[in-house]
């Protein structure tokens, strides 16, 4: 199959378009023929070798987590999927399988959901990692409730665009930070208090908006960009950080400080085992119009280096997707 492969970790120049053996599905797996691959910040970090702590790199390596396409083949134990079905998935890349910047990828069936009618491959490819991480950080680990006052630090990114909308859909009152060019974008997503971090003091803005302290805070940017986050959360509230691999501060010390203040201090990394149920739920919210898809920026697979430069800038509004094939 054709794929973008790396033979070594490094900068965007290590991304090469080439050929590699087509992966075979195991008994519980689905092989997906990919139409679009989604791009996440984890991809450039992966390319640079930053995921070595989680699993060894075996070269040639295909990176990329998110994929949307059609079922190509199913393992002996898989039911509910037939070749030709339109599906999306974070693939098995997180478990060491080859990634989604390729003609085909393998995913365990419990990580695969059908794409609902009315949703394109490009839209579906933008969902898995960003939307699942937002959902789990808000609800599974953050316990966000209707009526609570929530702030999303980094509301204009891929993850943040989902987080602010999920929080609103759940009935929370939502504030979010972004840079000046994204203020109107976040207003359009229904954010009640948009905080322009380039012009405003975040702490002062939050104190005026939520004088009793936030019930919930999500940091989707990095510890150095919100060093006083704990001070913004009320005792008994929740402060969720999404680990970035690049700017996480001192996690054990943060946990101790959170406990001392009586704040539920959480570091929430995406869990993809059995994520098919959440993927289907999120897709339903989209096609029913409860949330809108953040803006998509499309690149051809062969332009992957440019896509990586864009995501690595740290200022993507919405999501980047790679077109792999016309399906
Ligand atoms: N551990 C996990 O399971 C997991 C899963 C998903 C994502 N992540 C991590 O979560 C982070 C966000 O992911 P993403 O997909 O949303 O990234 P993204 O699409 O690149 O968005 C990043 C956003 O951060 C904002 N930003 C940059 N500097 C900022 C600052 N100083 N203050 C406030 N906002 C700032 C940018 O907004 P402006 O352009 O408006 O400044 C941009 O929209 C990444 O580090 C990613 O690796 C971790």
**Same domain for 86 and 149?**
no
**Same domain for 99 and 23?**
yes
What whole-number distance in Å separates Cα of residue 297 and Cα of residue 18?
Answer: 24
**Same domain for 93 and 149?**
no
**Same domain for 172 and 48?**
no
**Same domain for 234 and 256?**
yes
Residue 279 counted as domain residue: no
> What is the 8-class DSSP label of residue 256?
H
- At residue 56, the pLDDT reads 86
- Choosing from 223, 252, 267, the residue where a domain stops is 267
Cα of 8 vs centre of ligand 1, distance in Å, is: 26
The secondary structure of 39-53 as a DSSP string is E-HHHHHHHTTTTTT
| Closest residue to atom 20 of ligand 1, CA basis | 314
**Same domain for 93 and 134?**
no
User: What pLDDT band is residue 54 in, cutting at 50, 70 and 90?
Assistant: confident
Range of the domain at 6: 2-127+294-323
Residue 223 counted as domain residue: yes
Mean pLDDT across 307-311? 97
**Same domain for 114 and 185?**
no
311 Cβ closer than 6 Å to some ligand 1 atom: yes
Contact 66, 128 (CB under 8 A): yes
Number of the ligand 1 atom closest to the C-alpha atom of 311: 20
**Which pTM value belongs to this model?**
0.98
> Number of C-alpha atoms within 13 angstroms, CB side, residue 72?
18
More confident residue, 54 or 81: 81
Number of H helices, E strands in the chain: 9, 15
179 Cβ closer than 6 Å to some ligand 1 atom: yes
Residue 273 counted as domain residue: no
CATH code for position 249: 3.40.50.720
- Per residue in 212-257, pLDDT (tens digit) is 999 999 999 999 999 899 999 999 999 999 999 999 999 999 999 9
Number of the ligand 1 atom closest to the C-alpha atom of 156: 43
**Same domain for 123 and 72?**
yes
What whole-number distance in Å separates Cα of residue 66 and Cα of residue 214?
Answer: 32
| Total of domains in the chain | 2
């Amino acid at each position: 199959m054709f794929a973008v492969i790396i033979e070594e970790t490094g900068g965007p120049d290590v991304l090469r378009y080439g050929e590699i053996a087509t992966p075979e599905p195991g008994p519980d797996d689905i092989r997906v023929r990919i139409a679009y691959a989604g791009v996440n910040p984890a991809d450039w970090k992966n390319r640079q070798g930053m995921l070595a702590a989680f699993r060894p790199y075996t070269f040639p390596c295909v990176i990329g987590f998110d994929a949307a396409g059609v079922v190509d083949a199913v393992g002996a134990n898989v039911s509910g999927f037939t070749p030709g079905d339109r599906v999306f998935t974070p693939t098995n890349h997180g478990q060491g399988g080859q990634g989604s910047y390729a003609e085909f990828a393998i995913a365990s069936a419990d990580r695969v959901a059908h794409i609902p009618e009315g949703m394109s491959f490009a839209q579906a490819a933008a969902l898995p990692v960003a939307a699942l991480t937002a959902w789990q950080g808000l609800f599974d680990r953050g316990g966000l409730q209707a009526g609570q006052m929530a702030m999303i630090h980094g509301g204009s990114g891929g993850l943040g665009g989902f987080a602010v909308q999920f929080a609103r859909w759940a009935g929370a009152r939502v504030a979010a930070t972004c840079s000046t060019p994204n203020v109107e974008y976040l207003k359009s997503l229904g954010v009640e208090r948009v905080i322009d971090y380039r012009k405003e003091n975040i702490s002062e803005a939050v104190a005026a908006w939520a004088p009793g302290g936030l019930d919930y805070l999500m940091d989707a940017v990095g510890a150095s960009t919100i060093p006083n986050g704990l001070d913004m959360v009320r005792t008994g509230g929740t402060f969720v950080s999404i680990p970035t691999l690049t700017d996480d501060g001192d996690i054990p010390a943060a946990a101790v400080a959170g406990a001392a203040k009586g704040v539920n201090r959480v570091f929430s990394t995406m869990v993809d085992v059995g994520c098919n149920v959440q993927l289907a739920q999120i897709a339903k919210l989209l096609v029913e119009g409860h949330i809108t898809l953040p803006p998509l920026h499309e690149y051809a697979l062969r332009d992957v280096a440019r896509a990586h430069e864009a995501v690595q800038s740290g200022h993507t509004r919405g999501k980047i997707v790679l077109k792999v094939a016309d399906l």
